[in-house]
Amino acid sequence: MNTIDVRGLTKRYGPDTVVDDLSFTVEAGHVTGFLGPNGAGKSTTMKMIMGLAAPTHGSATIGGRHYRDLPVPLTHVGALLDAGAIHGSRTAHDHLLALAVSNGLPTARVGAVLERTGLTSVARKHAGGFSLGMRQRLGIAAALLGDPQVLIFDEPVNGLDPEGIRWIRGFMRSLAHEGRAVLVSSHLMSEMAQTADHLVVIGRGKLIADTSMTDFMAANGAGTVLVRSSEPGTFARLLTAAGATVRDGLESSLVVSGMTGAEIGRLAAYHDVVLSELAPQQASLEDAFMELTKDSLEYLGATS
Ligand SMILES: Nc1ncnc2c1ncn2[C@@H]1O[C@H](COP(=O)(O)OP(=O)(O)OP(=O)(O)O)[C@@H](O)[C@H]1O
């Protein structure tokens, strides 16, 4: 039951429908990447899950219950929605202690989450002096205070340095390994490729894809092969006759799909065609994501 269930979720601001009949499930034990271009409606969806915005229609529940019906919400769901929302004048320890006390959580959790997020040595320092990476850790520590089974992170790696990004990625994975349901948003596919095992992609508030990462990779990483030969015209005809699909690439290269590199090499050898390049291309996931969301981007471009 440690899931997030979003059903027919819709949010209108005046005439604008920013979340449009969205349905998806975030399963326990997985990192679900919530992807979409800027303005797609990710933050609004997360706010509705966390009871911070009221849906116009539909519902978002955590373990089958609305946020407002959870007796001690932080013990069910933790969220990092805005890392800036910290009193700079408080120490990291006091910030967490205040949260624990006001939410009726055991104060012993403060030390535990400081330890877990690697902040123990700076626990007595003022959070106002923290780097962005440390503020993110503190926000994550706060989300973990109630030891919840469901976690929500809105763009947690935005602005972080490579070390900070690596730490967050590993941390998300470890939370999922413990059986928690983890929903993490991003507008960059490359960030998700190494973190998420499930993807929910939205554009203009609408669901575009809801798929496992493995299936997404298989569908979009299926390689084409770049071929360069001194006789591109002749070889293109031979490839087409052999069942491949061929299009012209840059600088008289051929971009071949439907045949593996090995098959293309054998065909060339059989016909005595000399190849100067034979390079399988791995379509990048970023390209696949751009392709998937290009309609919503074009729409945004046309109206802005
Ligand atoms: N309180 C509000 N009133 C009016 N419009 C809003 C409000 N909050 C969000 N919006 C609009 O809803 C749309 C979706 O915004 P949202 O922040 O949910 O998108 P997002 O996918 O999280 O984008 P980003 O990656 O830029 O954070 C945007 O067009 C935004 O301007």
- Ligand 1 binding pocket mutation candidate from 10, 17, 44 (most atoms within 8 A of CB): 44
Length of the chain: 304
36 CB less than 6 Å from ligand 1?
A: yes
- Ligand 1 binding pocket mutation candidate from 20, 42, 208 (most atoms within 8 A of CB): 42
Co-location of 57 and 178 in the same domain: yes
Co-location of 103 and 210 in the same domain: yes
The secondary structure of 114-177 as a DSSP string is HHHTT-GGGTTSBGGG--HHHHHHHHHHHHHTT--SEEEESSTTTT--HHHHHHHHHHHHHHHH
299 is a domain residue: no
Co-location of 121 and 240 in the same domain: no
Co-location of 213 and 242 in the same domain: no
Co-location of 196 and 49 in the same domain: yes
Co-location of 135 and 23 in the same domain: yes
Co-location of 127 and 178 in the same domain: yes
Of the CA atoms within 13 Å of residue 68, those in its CB half-sphere come to: 9
CATH code, 235: 3.30.70
Count of structural domains within the chain? 2
Co-location of 160 and 72 in the same domain: yes
Query: pLDDT value at position 191?
Result: 78
With contact defined as beta carbons under 8 Å apart, do 40 and 202 qualify? yes
Choice between 90 and 61, residue whose per-residue pLDDT is larger = 61
The model's confidence at residue 257, banded by pLDDT at 50, 70 and 90, is confident
The model's confidence at residue 128, banded by pLDDT at 50, 70 and 90, is confident
Co-location of 38 and 127 in the same domain: yes
Could you give the strand order of the β-sheet that contains 245-248, starting from the edge strand earlier in sequence? Answer: 245-248, 254-257, 224-229, 275-281
pLDDT at 60 over 80: yes
Co-location of 66 and 181 in the same domain: yes
pLDDT at 288 over 90: no
The model's confidence at residue 69, banded by pLDDT at 50, 70 and 90, is very high
- Domain containing 264: what range? 223-281
pLDDT at 151 over 50: yes
187 CB less than 6 Å from ligand 1?
A: yes
User: Distance of CA 3 to CAs 62, 124, 149, Å?
Assistant: 6, 35, 8
3 CB less than 6 Å from ligand 1?
A: no
Query: pLDDT value at position 214?
Result: 77
The percent of residues in the chain predicted with pLDDT above 90, rounded, is 65
Of the given ranges (58-67, 80-89, 111-120, 125-134), which has the lowest mean pLDDT?
A: 80-89
ipTM, two decimals, is 0.95
Q: Mean pLDDT, to the nearest integer, of 4-30?
A: 96
Of the given ranges (52-61, 81-90, 171-180), which has the lowest mean pLDDT?
A: 81-90
190 is a domain residue: yes
Indicate the residue among 201, 219, 237 that finishes a domain: 219
CATH code, 70: 3.40.50.300
How would you classify the pairing of strands 275-281 and 224-229?
A: antiparallel
81 is a domain residue: yes
Q: Mean pLDDT, to the nearest integer, of 49-78?
A: 95
The model's confidence at residue 304, banded by pLDDT at 50, 70 and 90, is very low
Q: Mean pLDDT, to the nearest integer, of 13-24?
A: 96
pLDDT at 175 over 60: yes
Co-location of 137 and 40 in the same domain: yes
Query: pLDDT value at position 297?
Result: 63
